[in-house]
Structure 1
């Protein structure tokens, strides 16, 4: 009777979660998860104490470190694989669209997937919590650090699973009918090689640093980290508040984007309003971290300026791909939407170029004052101006190229756009580097490097400044050619040819 009441309450709160649990919590699967967890813990204990003697404190510390590092890596990797594979199977069977039409709100369906699909993994890791806590206490790890590990893990899972579910929903691989296991494997690899290391690096450097007495997680102490000259990892309350605000905001934005993609599967991955907010937030966060090191001397300031240049370009390229409308959306916009600046700025079906200009204005409004604050803008005024011009031209060229490709009637336009990016921003400069055609040896080659978007050579080689100007002129000519081609494409879409 009690179990029936609990099941009814769970079904009323989240029917999708109940569906996932019923499909996975079979007696044999639960027994297998429990058995694997117990066997794995026995193996860990045998490794820590091979002679059946009391486990020494150093071995308890090793055991604590192993499980601490294993928690995010195993949870993120296997959980991501299972979630994306489940979404792919749902798409392949056609049941995902059926779920969308159900009366359940999107948040219930997505939350049910996050909590229900990896439930066997949660059982496996949950049974390890007592051993993990015991190992930490025996090794002298403080209770606040143990509690913080389990406080941050759900937040990390929310971020990771939101990212991978977004990848699963917008994946072109799954839409073209290829095996969903391939996409799931790739997303799991990203979670293991990128998301989990970033999660551990952030927490060990910022969140947990005030709680680390010796080497509970890392074998060396981390330096003090400042954000806009304010230390954020000296006091536990400050470090946890900062991490919870940053990671919580990230999780909230990802959740909103995920809900949007689930409700509007044929729209762009991110709305233009969301992209403006993401750009401003990431830029402010990065500028705060770069400021303390950049005000020390001119060399650090130059390195900080180049680093922010690279980060801004990469972020703008990613946002550009996520807000770029496809051919059908452009066709509907040019024929049915009311023309005007508001539509160009806010509509998800409008062309990309005006939104990219707004992104550049937002980035410049934050970066240019910062460049003068750290002294680069006053000491190297010409170089700073050329760098801003080169960045602007590179982003506009990339945006026009991507929109032109997406407006063309071809299969998998994002694949072609990514290939073009690789050739323009990576392959061509790589060939120049292979042939040793660099401004340090031949100043005239700065024109070619600037054309391909690498206009920061003049910071270290003032003799390259005139050639950087030639490169910027070449960028303008190429941009004019691309804009003319895109204008003709939009005219063809308008008349229906």
Structure 2
């Protein structure tokens, strides 16, 4: 029967069969099981020793799990008629449930991502990845086999922890449907992050052995950072809620217990997406989070299938980049505080700055991804330049060039980034204009969006210019230069021009420009500084684009001449 099942698995997905056959060996399964049970035992005993005893009652020591009057965040211990300490078993079980949820979620996402990235890196080093590409399997089948097979032992570890997790959740009086919804959220998050790990493994092979540690470390860092910094002061009525939606630990269900004991638990009860009260029910919140994950998974898989077939292809087509910008802008804009900014005539004075600032941070992440996703490399640009040079020689008009820059897969991505910027900035500007903020705050917010958009275009032009270098480490150079341009100017300006009030023009050429425009310093001549900075941004963009155009034209002429020379020699 087992052999028949294995045979069917091999027929259904040969890649999955290959991965499982190499990993699910008896010794490995026993080791994963032992680690899982040992970890559960340690966790259970660590909470067991925290329970109050009769000695706690005699000494008058308060305890978190007692049921008396709460003093200094702990309750006094009470006893029943038999002298036994009355224990709040619901809270105790909930703490086990919460910690097990966090440990399993973090481990599943970070460790699984590491395994997938490392597996692709190993395949690349052994030159077996190209053989897999040449197999008759579809890219989707191969990638699914990787996702389901590579972390197989991790799945064993998690499945063995489910009984304790389910028992503690039910003992904490959490509805079963909410626990199942949380499992669905974790599965959806794992699918998205594993898909992203595979994509990073395909496009980041130039990082070498550091790649797996960087990818999984960045993910783990984000999960821990968001859990530690956002969860304690979490507010569901601003764009920060988006960070909570993509971190499963923010969606751990909780029972109806003392509010003082659950005050640090992030709650989506006030969450509205536009005007829809998504947060009124945990089920609807979980479903919305899953929908967000599925949208992300769609675009990641578009990139995965393109990059798996052709390692030199861009991660996204320009058409999909426009669709991604539209979807992402809609999702994060819906997370803004519409109740306060749009429907409340007396909104908070700083509400617009807070929401627009967070939306710009999210958009920065989007545009950095788009720059990486639709900026072609040197070889692709050379082919495109040669084709355009021949087309120009045949007398084709400018309409063909513009159409190619907007939709073409091999053309430079600067115009496409600019279109994405216009889409995002115009949408957010409409939100600003219909808000209840005063005219000064609206003007500042629109200026901030303008600076944020122009900086994104400058970064795109700079990246595309570097990717056209005659250097084998172009991706490394582009990444390093872009990070330096974003991080270093504010540091140097903070050292040498510490007061933006006196040196506003200089600061407006850094990544801090949108923040300065959003909350401007009280200084005279700021309007003139804005004017100079905007002119400077356009001039810098024009300079970078002209340099790239000159290099592309030269490359097209050289490549065409070399091709014609080779043809004549052959004749």
- TM-score, structure 2 as length reference: 0.79
Counterpart of 1:390 (choices 451, 474, 477) is 451
Matched, 1:316 2:367: yes
TM-superposed deviation, 1:60: 2.7
CA contact (8 A) 1:68 1:217 kept: no
Higher helix share: 1
Q: Deviations over 1:151-207 (max 9, x none)?
A: 211111101101111110111435xxx33xx21122121221225776993267975
3-state secondary structure, aligned to 1:233: helix
- Matching of residues 278-357 of structure 1 within 5 Å: 278-292=324-338, 293-295=340-342, 296-336=347-387, 339-357=400-418
Relative to structure 1, is the Cα distance of residues 38 and 217 closer, same or farther in structure 2, using a 3 angstrom cutoff? farther
Moved more, 45-54 or 27-36: 45-54
Q: Deviations over 1:312-352 (max 9, x none)?
A: 33422321122111111011111136653332112221012
Matched, 1:470 2:532: yes
TM-superposed deviation, 1:99: 0.4
Alpha-carbon separation, structure 1, partners of 2:160 and 2:445: 56
Matched, 1:373 2:431: no
Alpha-carbon separation, structure 1, partners of 2:496 and 2:120: 46
3-state secondary structure, aligned to 1:267: coil
Alpha-carbon separation, structure 2, partners of 1:65 and 1:149: 11
CA contact (8 A) 2:314 2:409 kept: yes
Name which one, 1 or 2, has greater alpha-carbon Rg. 2
Alpha-carbon separation, structure 2, partners of 1:286 and 1:452: 24
3-state secondary structure, aligned to 1:451: coil
Alpha-carbon separation, structure 1, partners of 2:263 and 2:150: 32
Relative to structure 1, is the Cα distance of residues 208 and 74 closer, same or farther in structure 2, using a 3 angstrom cutoff? closer
Matched, 1:112 2:145: yes
Relative to structure 1, is the Cα distance of residues 195 and 278 closer, same or farther in structure 2, using a 3 angstrom cutoff? farther
Aligned to 1:150: 183
Counterpart of 1:457 (choices 516, 522, 527) is 516
Relative to structure 1, is the Cα distance of residues 313 and 201 closer, same or farther in structure 2, using a 3 angstrom cutoff? closer
CA contact (8 A) 1:114 1:161 kept: yes
TM-superposed deviation, 1:376: 5.5
Aligned to 2:14: 15
- TM-score, structure 1 as length reference: 0.90
TM-superposed deviation, 1:383: 3.6
Alpha-carbon separation, structure 2, partners of 1:225 and 1:206: 13
TM-superposed deviation, 1:110: 0.7
- Matching of residues 37-436 of structure 1 within 5 Å: 37-50=36-49, 57=89, 58-173=91-206, 178-179=208-209, 182-195=210-223, 201-202=244-245, 212-214=255-257, 219-220=264-265, 222=267, 224-292=270-338, 293-295=340-342, 296-336=347-387, 339-375=400-436, 378-380=439-441, 382-384=443-445, 386-436=447-497
Relative to structure 1, is the Cα distance of residues 409 and 233 closer, same or farther in structure 2, using a 3 angstrom cutoff? same
Where does structure 1 lack aligned partners over 5 or more consecutive residues? none
TM-superposed deviation, 1:254: 1.6
Where does structure 2 lack aligned partners over 5 or more consecutive residues? 54-83, 228-242, 392-399, 560-571
Relative to structure 1, is the Cα distance of residues 162 and 374 closer, same or farther in structure 2, using a 3 angstrom cutoff? same
CA contact (8 A) 1:72 1:196 kept: no
Q: Deviations over 1:111-156 (max 9, x none)?
A: 1111111111111111111111112222322212221221211111
Relative to structure 1, is the Cα distance of residues 376 and 327 closer, same or farther in structure 2, using a 3 angstrom cutoff? farther
Relative to structure 1, is the Cα distance of residues 251 and 409 closer, same or farther in structure 2, using a 3 angstrom cutoff? same
TM-superposed deviation, 1:96: 0.6
Alpha-carbon separation, structure 2, partners of 1:466 and 1:411: 43
CA contact (8 A) 1:65 1:217 kept: no
Aligned to 2:395: none
Counterpart of 1:488 (choices 533, 537, 550) is 550
Query: How many aligned positions are there?
Result: 487
TM-superposed deviation, 1:385: 5.2
Relative to structure 1, is the Cα distance of residues 4 and 491 closer, same or farther in structure 2, using a 3 angstrom cutoff? same
CA contact (8 A) 1:324 1:352 kept: yes
